[in-house]
Amino acid sequence: MSEIKEMLSGGTRTSVGNSDQVIAALVADSSGLDDVYRLFLDDDPVVAMRSSYVAMRVAEQKPESVKPFAADLLRNLELYTQQEVRWHVPQLLVHLDLSKDQKRRAYDVVMTWAETDKSKIVGYYGFQAAADFAQTDGELLEDFIPRIRKANESGSKSIQSRCKKIAKQLGISL
């Protein structure tokens, strides 16, 4: 077992365990990020959740840290089925300088997650990432507007709140 996996193991999916130590180490020296991104698909759901959390927190401080993993993230999008990983992957994707085709593929996947995953948190971050993509692509924006309006009508309070913030961000009415 890798040292990083060992540090991210144990406890429950609702706890961060030793993640803060791993984050601090990776902000100082990002050489362990290869292991972290590979662990998104680990069989242990705690390790998968925490690894994606660690990557997301490192990216908050060092957005460029995501770039070397763009191809892996895009290749594995459909494989990310665990809800906690789906919370974090959209927050990583927005740090990437994606081609038009890559952006559209990422948009399609995170919109599907946002609209179909039972987790409200997946919806929250999925809609936000999709909005960020749509903001830079007129065709995506055209697709996004009716979908965000529908989510605002039928979504939970947290989704409706996110929809209102997104509408303000995009300068659209719901």
Provide CB contacts within 8 A for 140, sequence distance 6+: 103, 104, 107, 130, 133, 134
Average pLDDT, stretch 80-84? 96
**pLDDT for position 2:** 86
pLDDT at residue 151 tops 60? yes
Over residues 107-141, the pLDDT tens digits come to 999 999 999 999 999 999 999 999 999 999 999 99
Average the pLDDT over each of 16-20, 61-65, 67-71 and give the range with the smallest value: 16-20
In contact, 10 and 38? CB cutoff 8 Å: no
Structure confidence at residue 38 as a pLDDT band (50, 70, 90): very high
Record the tokens describing residue 81, joined without a space.
């089925």
Dihedral sign, Cα of residue 146, residue 100, residue 69, residue 20? negative
Sorted by where each begins, the domain ranges of the chain are: 98-174
Q: What is the pLDDT of residue 12?
A: 87
pTM listed for this prediction: 0.93
